[in-house]
Amino acid sequence: MEQSWKRAKAIFATVLGPPLAWLLLFFLIPLTIVWVYSFGTNVGLTEIAFTGTFSNYARAIEPLYVGIFLKSVGVAGLTTLFCLIVGFPVALAITFAPDRLKAWLILLVMLPFWTNLLIRTYALIAVLRTEGYVNLSLGWLWTHASGLMTMVGLSPLTRFEPLELLHNNFAVVFGLVYVHLPFMVLPLYSALDRLDRSLLEASLDLGAGHFRTMMMVVVPLALPGIASGILITFIPALGAYLTPDLLGGPDSQMIANIIERQFKRANDWPFGAALSFLLMYMTFIAIALQAMLAKRKTEAGS
Amino acid sequence: MSKRSLRSAAGPLEYLRRWPLQAWLVMVGLFLYAPLLTLMAFSFNDSKRNIVWKGFTLKYYDKVLQNDSLIAAFGNSLTIAAISTLISVILGAMAALVLWRFKFKGKTVLDGAMALPIVVPEICMGVAMLVFFAKVMPWPTGLPWPLNLGAIIIAHVSFSFPFVAVVVRARLASFNRELEEAAKDLGAGEFMTIRDVLIPHMQPSLIAGALLAFTLSLDDFVITFFTSGPDTVTFPVKVYSMVRFSVTPEVNAASTILIVFTVLLTALAIRLQGAAAVAGGHAPDASSK
């Protein structure tokens, strides 16, 4: 169906030119400069000399930074897992909802996603902080339970100690799940929606329970969709900056926070550039892994 | 008929009518919406400490409207979103057209390069933009508004237009090439065919792409954070500095305004395109990759 470009050179050039030029000038060249910087050294305050050194990468594999990389992968992995657990039933409900309701349920999942990320993170601060709504509700319940116990003649409870919910790793994972849930639900839904329903009915008819049908029929068939949901959630979670910055504590720094610090406060651009590219390579590895899995899956299927 | 089937027992696959799943949906709904709704409710709370309800007030909205730097930041955000959306839609449509229509050397490379801005972590792109505008193309300072926003607009276009291209290309796949042949048989030239046949077919995806680019731009914090200067502050960057400082009812009020704005924008999209199209147009169909 495609036309050879030689048959409509004028059109081809007009339509290709502007997007290609933009992509080159305002995306690929900036990235290339960062890549070049990652092999450079700081000389003076703002000068960076290209020395072809690997010292920035060597510094990145010091235990301190390896620990942060591992922690980021762990936090992103945990986030993805929780998103999958929370999101799968939601995707299932949307898939088998009546058509009229379907679009509205999707909108319900999407609407927070369209709301500004910063506002959503801020909303979580108000919920989780020491004098936040969660602790307030718990405190209220606590005092009333305590009052109830004195009424029935028991000794009252000790004073309510607010839970530390903010500025720790729990808050970071909670916030990342909150922010990334729609990323998981939508690909899951589009995978489940394509399933042949008669297979599910057959499984149920032949005596498998709902749980067994899910595990033995739905999950294997929807595996490519699940894999892409995992990827779409994992990648932005791995590079998250705002959530660990605002909800995390001193030990919840993720890679993105370290990169930001190199560029803004520590003013060590070459090292920051090396870290950026390491993060990017990790992203590409994740994508390649998923592509390989998907390929093996289709080969096995055919 | 439909009333009757509502009362009948749930069919084997009507998962939405089973209570565990309903309970789960309600829980997830609470999880997603309770923080936002409490935030909105407490923007009307007449208490500085903002925890216990002390009575209804609009004074924080008044404060927001009198906060000149916040209003200016909001104006900047809307301007950046509008201009970058316009450029993104044009560039995205062009890229989609070229990738859908032509066969050429390096097509796979271009395809891959167009996907890069979508997959590259935001922080890496922010850093690249910072370096680019610091070392290669310093954006002149002291330009009159809105020219001073140029660097941010450029950065926003770079991450938005590949998304537009994906949306438009999906729509082009359903184009019937015979229409184009017919137009040419009837004497239309290449450009005329594109203008009168292809672009009308693309139109719904152009609107969907524009909405997507607009929200992406309005939502972006990280990349803007690296490209904005002291006098080019956007709404998210401004709110960030306020949030770092403390949790105040004023931030609640400003956030409520933006949430209402988002809901109105979504409602407008639904009116224009229908709920199914709005929901479907944004569903990332990555599993088909």
With CB atoms and an 8 Å threshold, state whether B289 touches A228.
yes
Asked if residue A113 and residue A69 are part of one domain, the reply reads yes
B268-273 average pLDDT score: 76
Q: Which of A200, A178, A157 lies closest to A113, judged by CA? A: A178
Q: Per the domain annotation, does A46 fall within a domain?
A: no
Q: What's the domain range around A278?
A: 63-118+165-301
Q: Per the domain annotation, does A283 fall within a domain?
A: yes
Residue of chain A whose Cα is closest to the Cα of B39: A123
The sign of the CA dihedral B97, B103, B105, B111 is positive
Confidence (pLDDT) at A278: 92
Digit-coded pLDDT (tens) for B191-214? 888 888 888 888 888 888 888 888
Q: Per the domain annotation, does A18 fall within a domain?
A: no
> Could you tell me if B222 lies within 8 Å of chain A, comparing CB atoms?
yes
The token pair at A220 is 């294997």
DSSP string over A144-201: HHHHHHHHTTPPPPPPPPPP--SSSHHHHHHHHHHHHHHHHHHHHHHHHHTS-HHHHH
Percent of chain B with pLDDT over 70: 87
Confidence (pLDDT) at B1: 42
Mutate to test the interface with A, among B2, B64, B102, B114 (most CBs of A within 10 A): B102
B73-94 average pLDDT score: 92
CATH number of the domain bearing residue A201: 1.10.3720.10
Asked if residue A170 and residue A149 are part of one domain, the reply reads no
Confidence (pLDDT) at B5: 46
* d(CA B144, nearest CA chain A) in Å: 23
Mutate to test the interface with B, among A42, A116, A174, A246 (most CBs of B within 10 A): A116
Asked if residue A102 and residue A232 are part of one domain, the reply reads yes
Confidence (pLDDT) at B9: 55
Of B122, B243, B259, the CB nearest to A115: B259
Asked if residue A193 and residue A70 are part of one domain, the reply reads yes
Q: Per the domain annotation, does A40 fall within a domain?
A: no
Rounded to whole angstroms, the Cα distance separating B220 from B157 reads 12
Residue of chain B whose Cα is closest to the Cα of A27: B158
Higher pLDDT, B31 or A100: B31
**Given pLDDT bands bounded at 50, 70 and 90, which one contains residue B72?**
confident
Contacts of A230 in chain B (CB under 8 A): none
Asked if residue A192 and residue A99 are part of one domain, the reply reads yes
The token pair at A218 is 């739905």
Amino acid at A262: Q
**Cβ-count burial A109-128 (b if 16+ within 10 Å, e if not):** bbbbbbbbbbbbbbbbbbbb
User: Is B144's pLDDT higher than 80?
Assistant: no
Asked if residue A269 and residue A191 are part of one domain, the reply reads yes
Confidence (pLDDT) at B138: 81
Asked if residue A280 and residue A198 are part of one domain, the reply reads yes
CB B170 within 8 A of CB B277: no
- What kind and span of H or E run contains A277? helix A269-301
* d(CA B142, nearest CA chain A) in Å: 22
Q: Which of A54, A31, A50, A33 lies closest to A42, judged by CA? A: A50
> One digit per residue, pLDDT tens: chain A, 302 residues?
577 767 777 778 888 889 999 999 999 999 999 998 888 888 776 777 788 788 888 888 888 888 899 999 999 999 999 999 999 989 888 888 887 788 888 888 888 888 888 888 888 888 887 777 777 778 878 777 777 777 777 777 777 777 777 788 888 999 999 999 988 888 888 888 888 778 878 888 887 777 787 777 788 888 888 888 898 899 999 989 999 988 888 888 898 999 998 888 878 888 989 999 999 999 999 888 888 887 777 776 54
Confidence (pLDDT) at B88: 94
Rounded to whole angstroms, the Cα distance separating B42 from B250 reads 10
The domain boundary residue, chosen from A164, A186, A219: A164
In total, the C-beta contacts within 8 angstroms joining chain A to chain B are 289
Q: Per the domain annotation, does A102 fall within a domain?
A: yes
User: Is B28's pLDDT higher than 70?
Assistant: yes
Asked if residue A210 and residue A113 are part of one domain, the reply reads yes
Confidence (pLDDT) at A176: 93
Mutate to test the interface with B, among A108, A115, A194 (most CBs of B within 10 A): A115
Higher pLDDT, B177 or A239: A239
ipTM above 0.90, yes or no: no
With CB atoms and an 8 Å threshold, state whether B38 touches A123.
yes
Asked if residue A105 and residue A220 are part of one domain, the reply reads yes
* Domains in chain B, CATH or no CATH each: 2-44 (no CATH), 61-288 (1.10.3720.10)
Q: Per the domain annotation, does A30 fall within a domain?
A: no
Residue of chain A whose Cα is closest to the Cα of B191: A11
B89-105 average pLDDT score: 87
Confidence (pLDDT) at B287: 32
Asked if residue A267 and residue A209 are part of one domain, the reply reads yes
Tell me how far the alpha carbon of residue B264 is from its chain's centroid: 14
> How far is residue B199 from each of residues A17, A87, A135, A221, B89, measured CA to CA in Å?
18, 37, 55, 38, 12
Asked if residue A184 and residue A154 are part of one domain, the reply reads no
- For A86, residues 6+ apart whose C-beta sits below 8 A from its C-beta are A177, A181, A184, B28, B31
User: Is B286's pLDDT higher than 50?
Assistant: no
User: Is B34's pLDDT higher than 70?
Assistant: yes
Contacts of B39 in chain A (CB under 8 A): 119, 122-123, 126
Percent of chain B with pLDDT over 90: 13
CB A272 within 8 A of CB A40: no
- pTM for the structure as a whole: 0.85
Q: Which of B164, B171, B194, B173 lies closest to A1, judged by CA? A: B173
CB B72 within 8 A of CB B145: no
CB A146 within 8 A of CB A168: no
Radius of gyration for chain B, computed over Cα atoms and rounded to the nearest angstrom: 23
**Given pLDDT bands bounded at 50, 70 and 90, which one contains residue B16?**
low
- What kind and span of H or E run contains A48? strand A47-50
Q: Per the domain annotation, does A79 fall within a domain?
A: yes
Higher pLDDT, A164 or B219: B219
Q: Which of B110, B122, B223, B136 lies closest to A30, judged by CA? A: B136
Rounded to whole angstroms, the Cα distance separating B70 from B263 reads 20
Q: Per the domain annotation, does A16 fall within a domain?
A: no
Rounded to whole angstroms, the Cα distance separating B257 from B63 reads 13
**Given pLDDT bands bounded at 50, 70 and 90, which one contains residue B50?**
low
Asked if residue A271 and residue A149 are part of one domain, the reply reads no
